[in-house]
Amino acid sequence: MDLMDRLASLAQRYEELNTLMAQPEVLADISLLQRYGRERAELEEVVQKYYELAENDKRIAEAQPQSAQRAIAARAKDCFAAQRYYG
């Protein structure tokens, strides 16, 4: 399991804990609620950083095709300009 898979697993557990902590039977069991609360608190910072990393990866992936298209267009423009100059 690579790092991103492990972080995704932790994020899944974090979300599961959020759901569990909203259940009436968990709210009625203070010791269980506290245990889930401690586990959730331990995961919170790591999971938030994972969400930030995943969002940055998404933005990079979306930007790369645009950057490549701009680079190709600039090269084509340079090529046509050179062809007119030397042509």
Q: Which residue has the higher pLDDT, 6 or 3?
A: 6
Residue with token string 């269980």: 32
Residue 9 confidence (pLDDT) above 60: yes
Q: Is the pTM of this model over 0.95?
A: no
Residue 33 dihedral angles phi and psi, to the nearest 5°: -60, -40
Cα 65 from chain centre? 19
Residue 4 dihedral angles phi and psi, to the nearest 5°: -65, -35
- Per-residue pLDDT of 10-36, as tens digits, reads 999 999 999 999 999 999 999 999 999
From the list 86, 87, 83, the residue with the least C-alpha distance to 75 is 83
pLDDT of residue 74: 63
- Per-residue pLDDT of 34-87, as tens digits, reads 999 999 999 999 999 999 988 888 888 777 666 666 666 666 565 555 556 554
